Amino acid sequence: MKFQSNSRRRAKEYEADVLKKWKAEKTFEQSVLNRSKDDAFVFYDGPPFITGVPHHGTLLSSIVKDAVPRYQTMKGKRVERRWGWDCHGLPAENFVEKKLGISTRHEVGDKISLADYITCARESMVATAGLWEDTIDRIGRWVEFSNAYKTMDKEFMESVWWAFKTLYEKGKIYEGERVLMYDTAWATPLSKSEITMDNDAYKTVTDPSVFVKFWLNDFMDSEGSNEPTAMLAWTTTPWTLPGNMGLFINPEFTYAKVKIDGENFIIAKDLVEKVLVDEKHKPLEYQLINLIDGADLIGLSYKPVVEEYAYNGEGSENAYKVWGADYVSLDGGTGIVHSAPAYGEEDFNFGKEYGIPVYHTLDEFGKYIDGRWQGEDVWQINKQIAKTLKEEGKVWKIDYIRHEYPHNPRTGHRLMYRAHPSWFFDIQGQKDLMLEQNESINWFPSHLKHGRFAKNIQAAPDWNLSRDRFWATAMPVWKSESGKIKVVGSYAELKELSGVELEDYHRPWVDDITFEIDGEKYTRIDKVLDCWFESGSMPFAQFHYPFENKEKFEKNFPGDFIVEYIGQVRAWFYYVHAVNTALFGKKAFKNVITTGVVAGNDGRKMSKSLGNYTDPNELMDQYSADSLRFLLLSSPLLNGEDFALHDKDVSDIARKLSMIWNMYDFFTMYASVDNWQFKGELEDPSDNLENPLDKWIISRVHQLRNDITTNMDKYDIPRALEGIVPFLDDASNWFVRRSRRRFWKSDSSVDKMQAYQTLHYVLSYLALLLAPFTPFLSEELWGKMVGDKSVHLHDWPNSGEINQEIIEDMAKLRSYVNEALAVRAKNSVKIRQPLQSISVPSNNISEEVKQWMEPVLLEELNVKEVKWSAGPVELDLNITSELKSEGLMREVIRNIQNSRKKAGLNVDDRINLYLHSSNNELKEVYNKFVQEISKEVLATNFEDNLQDLEHNFEVKIESMDLKISLQKQ
């Protein structure tokens, strides 16, 4: 294979051509089919929302999802990569509702029929598919788009039904009522893990906090006084007061009855001074009447705060009473806690224990059902409730506080805690299994294993599976009129029960299916499944298991690898783990990489309005997709840390990767002149090499291969990549630079041929090593250096010979060079100025090694003599007149070489050269060193002449003028 100089191309040009080549030659498909089905590497691709658009964050995970499978493929594994789409849930519904001009749930059924809504939703789920495919292609990711699974597909949903029924029959799914995070705008509960997956779910809000008077019925204190007395409770949720059902005190505390402004209040004794202050936090005058043991307050009754909301339904005998609870603390408030079981998790749990009624004063949209605030939105009327109750004397004092409050991260809506009938997944009953299975999962970074992931499992409540929405997998639960339950696990089972078969099992069509069992009619409950249950079912549902591909799934479960950003530790990773350990009794994945979050160039969240990031396609066009890939893969993001993306960082990586092409340019420039050709077999040349420089760089590239392999096998991608740039620096700025004279030789000596063989091998081998990380560059380089099939169809290279001694010896040599150069810099002595000698430590270096080290030290440090000693590196800085002249000669040569470049001459072009200076010192130098100068700059004719030739340049050397005139012969 021959090589051509000046054949280097811009990244944007060859990346476009490589993409076309891969598609035309079906390289991705070949890379899968060439590997045995019996040696699979299973990768689970977490599906993005189809309604979203690609951004740096999704590209980050896609880059990792490409690099690891490419590496595993080269290691001989069959890695099928199937794209997936998350089509259901609130993000999809928001997309559809904006499209339809819908702002509230009420409008579904009124403004537009549910059938039309669902039809529109399905049609909308392909809106951005083309944009995704184009961008994923551009980043170089190989994945099968044409056969992508969609969570809305009939087959996928049937597998979800199977999973639901299987878990129900195992006793892991049950119906119940709990207090859940609830979005009133969309009238649906949400799971806690879904809310807390990102850090921006809790937002700071300003709310009124009120001290409320709960007037006791027939209270008589220890001194026999029956003056009207109120329990003073503090709450930050005035909106819950109409639903108040009880008060909680701590029976271990002592409480005080105090009189202030003519009213008697009961407050925890230790909080009296803190509570009884004015708006400026200055103490108020009060009278301490007496002290009361907390236990003596239990069982007292009181009047409802808002009379028209008084509860008289089932369980009313336990309403409006004082109860004891040890969770009541002295950390804040009054030591008396207002309880509305319908709107507080702790309130609900205690209420359930004591039989306190759950009283809903709000409808599913957060509007008051009746009473004076009927129809009012809870968040709009909250402050007004506080003010009204203060005016009516029912609130003693109002303060305003700033506190963190949960919001729906998908919609931005403020959430409430609300008791809601739902279907739950019994997480409590399988926590031990989930934690046990986590022990054998390889996490990167490792601290997440027993940190965020394990702690999330330990703290997780039972999972609320049901949603009161529309566009999602319908819950396969039918109820009879008497409350009997039938859970359906397949479409065939439903057909057997009802005689009905559908093309689409979404609402509303599945809602219409009824059937009878033993004379009772069964109707489907109008709930849908949490879309995270679908996502958690992805490992098997993508294969329509167990209805199809049963053997394939079971043979390849658990999966080998998953990756997503850190928010998914509490979300997708957790839900996949929960669903699959419950179904199959074991973990769903063996290895997981968790990335950080890509931030804008100002460290804030990427935002178009802030203008703090460059569009990824624009960035790739400017600097290359490979540069963006390499930066992200080697960044702190792959250690699970956040990272601010600056265009300059991508530019810096592009510059560093260009060292490869600089070496390629150097190689092809001389190979084309000498007609050096690759014979077609890429083999480790170590056994045939004589020059220590060749042995060293071959050992270094093999060492790099081993480092990459070791760390990729651990899924530590940043460490796998950390040696690449230092190697490029070694190869370019040491091996190639030190080898220049070897390539310049006019003869075809063994040393010159071995230099060619070594550089060719290093560049070709490097193409293999970089293939998983910079696939475009590797393909282009491999094609130019080797020329056979795609680099991505080759195996990962075997470990070659590593001469550890020569690596260590070269490290010593370079440390001596660096120390000496630092001495030169400190003393302002340029490297082109020759010095007489350098003394370097022997350090048990053999005579044989010294023989090859000395010429390098002489040339690198521009000294006349190397002295071996027991002491540190020392330079003789005394500059004689002879050394001064030689230094000026080197400056002359440097300026002539620069002039050759400016004239556009090739490296092997011979020239006619005229030099002229008015300075006698400089004139004497270039006339004295005619032969040396002529040899270095390839001048066959050299004169001290003022006349012009074709190319003329005027330069300064230490304030001395020099005219350079040259032309190609």
Number of H helices, E strands in the chain: 33, 33
Catalytic residue among 572, 661, 734, 782: 572
Catalytic residue among 532, 661, 676, 734: 532
Catalytic residue among 45, 47, 239, 539: 47
Is position 165 annotated as part of the catalytic site? no
In this structure, the chain runs to a length of 969
Q: Long-range contact list for 305-312, CB < 8 A, 24+ apart?
A: 305/212, 305/213, 305/214, 305/241, 305/242, 305/244, 305/389, 305/394, 306/241, 306/242, 306/371, 306/372, 306/389, 306/394, 308/371, 308/372, 309/242, 309/243, 309/361, 309/371, 311/245, 311/357, 311/359
Distance separating alpha carbons of residues 30 and 27, to the nearest angstrom: 5
Closest CA to 444 of 295, 566, 609, 285: 566
The distance between the two most distant Cα atoms of the chain, rounded to a whole number of Å, is 126
Distance separating alpha carbons of residues 924 and 917, to the nearest angstrom: 10
Closest CA to 183 of 311, 94, 100, 107: 94
Which pair of tokens denotes residue 644?
Answer: 């601010």
Q: CA angle, corner 681, sides to 677 and 685, nearest 5?
A: 90
Distance separating alpha carbons of residues 239 and 959, to the nearest angstrom: 85
Catalytic residue among 568, 703, 754, 833: 568
Catalytic residue among 12, 75, 99, 605: 605
Closest CA to 573 of 582, 584, 581, 562: 562
Closest CA to 939 of 966, 964, 917: 966
Which pair of tokens denotes residue 534?
Answer: 């679908």
Distance separating alpha carbons of residues 469 and 638, to the nearest angstrom: 36
CA distances from 473 to 161, 162, 251, 453, 680 (A): 8, 12, 48, 27, 57
Is position 30 annotated as part of the catalytic site? no
Catalytic residue among 20, 280, 608, 901: 608
Closest CA to 663 of 565, 799, 777, 495: 777
Residue 282 and residue 313 in contact, taking contact as beta carbons nearer than 8 Å: no
Is position 608 annotated as part of the catalytic site? yes
Is position 744 annotated as part of the catalytic site? no
Distance separating alpha carbons of residues 721 and 666, to the nearest angstrom: 25
List the beta bridge partners of residue 290.
Answer: 257
Distance separating alpha carbons of residues 317 and 306, to the nearest angstrom: 18
Distance separating alpha carbons of residues 424 and 426, to the nearest angstrom: 6
Catalytic residue among 45, 48, 85, 86: 86
Is position 274 annotated as part of the catalytic site? no
Which pair of tokens denotes residue 226?
Answer: 């029956």
Residue 77 and residue 37 in contact, taking contact as beta carbons nearer than 8 Å: no
- Quick one: how far is CA 696 from the chain centroid? 38
Residue 489 and residue 165 in contact, taking contact as beta carbons nearer than 8 Å: yes
Q: CA angle, corner 762, sides to 759 and 768, nearest 5?
A: 145
Distance separating alpha carbons of residues 35 and 81, to the nearest angstrom: 13
Closest CA to 702 of 782, 781, 802: 802
Which pair of tokens denotes residue 40?
Answer: 């699979």
- Quick one: how far is CA 535 from the chain centroid? 18
**CA contacts within 13 A on the Cβ side of 10:** 6
Which pair of tokens denotes residue 787?
Answer: 């020329």
List the beta bridge partners of residue 939.
Answer: 911
List phi, psi (to 5°) of 832: -75, -5
Residue 777 and residue 18 in contact, taking contact as beta carbons nearer than 8 Å: no
Is position 572 annotated as part of the catalytic site? yes
Say which amino acid occupies 324.
G
Distance separating alpha carbons of residues 708 and 702, to the nearest angstrom: 10
Closest CA to 159 of 501, 479, 578, 536: 536
Is position 568 annotated as part of the catalytic site? yes
List the beta bridge partners of residue 815.
Answer: none
Which pair of tokens denotes residue 387?
Answer: 């003010």
Distance separating alpha carbons of residues 886 and 947, to the nearest angstrom: 26
- The residues annotated with a catalytic role in the active site are 47, 86, 532, 568, 572, 605, 608
